[in-house]
């Protein structure tokens, strides 16, 4: 191996067959990050206690493959491997869904994908379909397209490919807000372990979507200013390299953060079918008489203490017995309470913010989202409909 003019040459000699590879120093750094990503993903797979990290593993492997493919592109070796050209283009449409699903799985006991979750694959499927004609081309034609792309970049021509780019932008921002909503609506953690877990997810979200936002900004700028293409290329890969190393650093310092909410939590405290029915009745009585949902910072531990069961048993009761999670369960009671308030003559002039607080919500935005989700209406529309119905009667 020798270094000449910032180039690194690697020559392999095996049975008189010589394979010479030449990479620039920064390309070696990108390849090292890709290797680090594969190594980190392998470690997470080997840790059986981190099953909820499955989606994070796929995400890290995707990043590693993306780095590798781009190094092959920038080094010119894409001419020897032309069928790798554009392979990662539809795959990047899986980044948002994978990260969103990782957060969901980290916050839900016994998380399982549902048939309706297939909708998250639609952007990926769309991009894959429009690229199928390209994938069917011969290697020689792909090489010519590659050489042409080196001379022609940018532009805003409207095409099916540009539609795919717009879908990528739209879906990325949707997954950002969907992930933000999941984390923002969480009640205050009741233990240090939970607090550290939530803090990790929030920081991971910031880092992940900062990278995505930067990537999108430069993608737009490249179309307007083609001369900055190489700047965007390196900023994108450097950011991704930092992201992979950061995840590895966190995994090294705090491996417990990647332990998920699993069925094993119940192995020493499982609730029998008979007790499950009894606890359902007790839970309903507690929610009606004590109204703990009116406390904005109520936690699973608080409800568990009222029933004299552990937090894990409460999670099992809600997930298995009632087919819901703690946050949706609490918010259902809060919305029902707010509906009673909105129908009350005493609250006719009350502001929506006050009704949100009186119903147990900590902010107006969370109240509006959950009210619309459960009723299909805004609180104001619901109140107006009730007033009109009273007037008619």
* Angle at 215 (CA atoms; ends 212, 220), nearest 5 degrees: 125
Domain ranges of the chain: 26-258, 268-323, 326-393
Q: How far apart are CA 317 and CA 167, in angstroms?
A: 40
First to last CA, the chain: 89
pLDDT at 3: 34
* SS3 state at 10: strand
CATH 3.20.20.150 for the 326-393 domain, yes or no: no
Which uninterrupted H or E stretch holds 215? Answer: helix 192-224
Taking CA atoms, 370 is separated from 117, 332, 378, in Å, by 20, 8, 9
Token code pair at residue 66: 């993306």
pLDDT at 268: 33
Contact status, residue 370 vs residue 335, Cβ threshold 8 Å: yes
Bridge partners of residue 308, in order along the sequence: none
Long-range contacts of 78-81 (CB under 8 A, 24+ apart): 78/143, 78/146, 79/143, 79/146
Taking CA atoms, 40 is separated from 80, 246, 262, 264, 285, in Å, by 29, 11, 21, 24, 48
Mark 288-307 as b/e (b = at least 16 C-beta within 10 Å). eeeebbbebebbbebbbebe
Instruction: Identify the segments of the chain with pLDDT beneath 70.
Output: 1-21, 48-52, 108-110, 151-162, 185-192, 255-274, 388-393
Q: How far apart are CA 318 and CA 283, in angstroms?
A: 10
Token code pair at residue 40: 């980190």
Q: How far apart are CA 221 and CA 369, in angstroms?
A: 34
H helical segments located in 225-255? 229-253
pLDDT at 189: 62
pLDDT at 332: 92
In sequence order, which residues have a C-beta less than 8 Å from that of residue 98 and are 6 or more positions away?
55, 56, 58, 59, 62
Long-range contacts of 79-84 (CB under 8 A, 24+ apart): 79/143, 79/146, 82/139, 82/140, 82/142, 82/143, 82/146, 83/135, 83/139, 83/142
């Amino acid at each position: 191996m020798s270094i000449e003019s910032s180039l690194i040459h690697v020559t392999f000699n095996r049975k008189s067959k010589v394979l010479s590879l030449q990479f620039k120093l920064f390309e070696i750094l990108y390849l090292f990050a890709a290797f680090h990503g594969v190594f980190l993903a392998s470690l997470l797979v080997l840790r059986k206690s981190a099953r909820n990290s499955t989606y994070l593993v796929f995400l890290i492997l995707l990043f590693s493959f993306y780095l590798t493919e781009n190094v092959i592109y920038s080094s010119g070796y894409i001419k020897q491997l032309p069928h790798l050209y554009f392979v990662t283009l539809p795959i990047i449409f899986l980044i948002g869904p994978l990260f969103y699903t990782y957060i969901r799985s980290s916050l839900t006991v016994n998380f399982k994908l549902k048939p309706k979750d297939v909708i998250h694959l639609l952007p990926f499927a769309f991009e894959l379909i429009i690229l199928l004609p390209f994938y069917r081309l011969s290697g020689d034609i792909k090489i010519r397209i590659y050489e042409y792309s080196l001379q022609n970049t940018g532009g805003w021509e409207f095409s099916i490919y540009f539609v795919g780019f717009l879908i990528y932008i739209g879906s990325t921002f949707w997954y950002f807000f969907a992930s933000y909503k999941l984390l923002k609506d969480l009640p205050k953690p009741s233990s240090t372990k939970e607090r550290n877990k939530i803090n990790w997810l929030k920081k991971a979200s910031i880092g992940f979507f900062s990278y995505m936002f930067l990537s999108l900004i430069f993608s737009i700028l490249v179309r307007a200013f083609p001369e900055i293409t190489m700047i965007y290329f390196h900023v994108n890969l450097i950011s991704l390299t930092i992201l992979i190393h950061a995840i590895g650093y966190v995994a090294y310092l705090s491996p417990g953060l990647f332990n998920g909410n699993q069925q094993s939590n119940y192995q020493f405290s499982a609730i029998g079918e008979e007790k499950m029915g009894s606890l359902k009745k007790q839970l309903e009585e507690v929610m009606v008489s004590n109204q703990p949902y009116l406390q904005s910072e109520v936690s699973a531990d608080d409800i568990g203490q009222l029933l004299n069961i552990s937090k894990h048993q409460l999670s099992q009761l809600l997930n298995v017995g009632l087919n819901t999670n703690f946050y949706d369960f609490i918010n259902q009671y809060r919305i029902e309470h707010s509906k009673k308030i909105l129908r009350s003559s005493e609250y006719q002039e009350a502001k929506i913010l006050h009704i949100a607080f009186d119903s147990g919500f900590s902010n107006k935005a969370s109240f509006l989202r959950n009210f619309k989700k459960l009723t299909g209406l805004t609180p104001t529309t619901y109140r107006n409909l009730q007033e009109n119905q009273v007037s008619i009667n």
